[in-house]
Amino acid sequence: MAELPHLTDEERARYEWQMWTPDVGEDGQRKLKAARVLVSRLGGVGGTVAYYLAAAGVGKLILAHAGNIKRSDLNRQLLMTTAGLGQSRVRSAERRLTELNPNIEIHTTAENLSEDNAFALAGEADVLVDAAPLYSERFAMNLAAVRQNKPLVECAMYDLNAQLTTIIPGQTPCLACLYPDNPPDWKREFPVFGAVSGMIASMAAVEVIKLITGIGEPLSGQMLWCNLRTMTFRKLPVSRRSACHVCSTHWCLWFFRFLVSTPIILRPTSVGDDFAESLRTAEFPDDHQRRWEMSQGR
């Protein structure tokens, strides 16, 4: 295992208050400095995740987002500015994050994640964050995470609803277990307040910090659903889908290794049923429930 980088006096002063967290300390901060995190998309969710990871001192951020800043970005994308209208989103993000914390390394690509670049970008990181609005991008990152055995923090929002889970390949369901196919009614544009995207983004940043430092318990094997219209928060169990085309082979290999190293016999449970049943009985707006049902082909 490579030795963790040391902190400078300036870094100790910058991160002093978070190092007071009892199970973080200087060792935890050195882990953050050594870490590399990929963030897919820098919109209302991903940009806020990147902002808080930069503030926390994550050593390297790999940021992927195509296109130039539009006026409609500015109600939620905190790394974009009015003065930057028409300019590159990733250049604006890099500038804003460097102004916040010049000690970190930032690598940007002016592309959205796809099957063509997901594996290469994920290969540069230790932890992946998916904040993309399109399922093609989310599926590409999920596949790269599973194949490369990298933890993936999945965060998304719609209207005043949001969801968050942490995928640990070999231990939890992957995104394709939860959404086997591209939901047929999903659209690129949808209602969003910056306060909603920022809320779930802050939680996602905490998940990344927990994964890197080893503190607390990650939101693995569970989906956090948030309904901000009623301020209702529910953690629902998620389970593997045995026919998953992404992680089922990976799961079988892991399960076999577990069996041969463990003096007990485990019986696989039905996959996905707990999550689906929890969603059927959860109290969420009709439109959100309909989108879930459509994603399941119902």
Decide if 104 is inside a domain: yes
Eight-state DSSP code of residue 8: P
Helices 194-213 + 25-34 axis angle, to 10: 110
Decide if 46 is inside a domain: yes
Q: What are phi and psi of 159, to 5 degrees?
A: 60, -125
3-state helix, strand, coil in the chain (%, to 5): 40, 15, 40
pLDDT value of position 186: 67
Eight-state DSSP code of residue 5: P
**Number of domains the chain contains:** 1
d(CA 183, CA 152) in angstroms, rounded, equals 21
pLDDT value of position 190: 78
Decide if 164 is inside a domain: yes
Strand order across the beta sheet in which 60-64 lies: 105-109, 60-64, 36-40, 127-130, 152-158, 161-167, 222-227, 232-237
Q: What is the pLDDT along the chain (298 residues), one digit of tens a residue?
A: 579 999 999 999 999 999 999 999 999 999 999 999 999 999 999 999 999 999 999 999 999 999 999 999 999 999 999 999 999 999 999 999 999 999 999 999 999 999 999 999 999 999 999 999 899 999 999 999 999 999 999 999 999 999 999 999 999 999 999 988 887 776 667 789 999 999 999 999 999 999 999 999 999 999 999 999 999 999 999 998 888 989 886 444 544 444 444 443 333 333 344 444 444 444 444 444 444 434 433 3
Identify whether the C-beta of residue 37 lies closer than 8 Å to the C-beta of residue 63: no
Range of the domain at 246: 35-295
Decide if 85 is inside a domain: yes
pLDDT value of position 297: 38
What is the β-pairing status of strands 127-130 and 105-109? unpaired
Q: What are phi and psi of 289, to 5 degrees?
A: -65, -40
Burial of 109 (0-12, 13-18, 19+ CB in 10 A): middle
pLDDT value of position 222: 95
Decide if 25 is inside a domain: no
d(CA 200, CA 178) in angstroms, rounded, equals 19
pLDDT value of position 253: 52
Decide if 134 is inside a domain: yes
pLDDT value of position 87: 95
Q: Provide CB contacts within 8 A for 81, sequence distance 6+.
A: 69, 74, 92, 96
Decide if 16 is inside a domain: no
Decide if 1 is inside a domain: no
Report which of 57, 108, 103 is spatially closest to residue 79, judged by C-alpha positions: 108
| CATH at residue 204 | 3.40.50.720
Ramachandran class of 173: left when φ > 0, alpha when ψ lies in -120 to 50, beta otherwise: beta
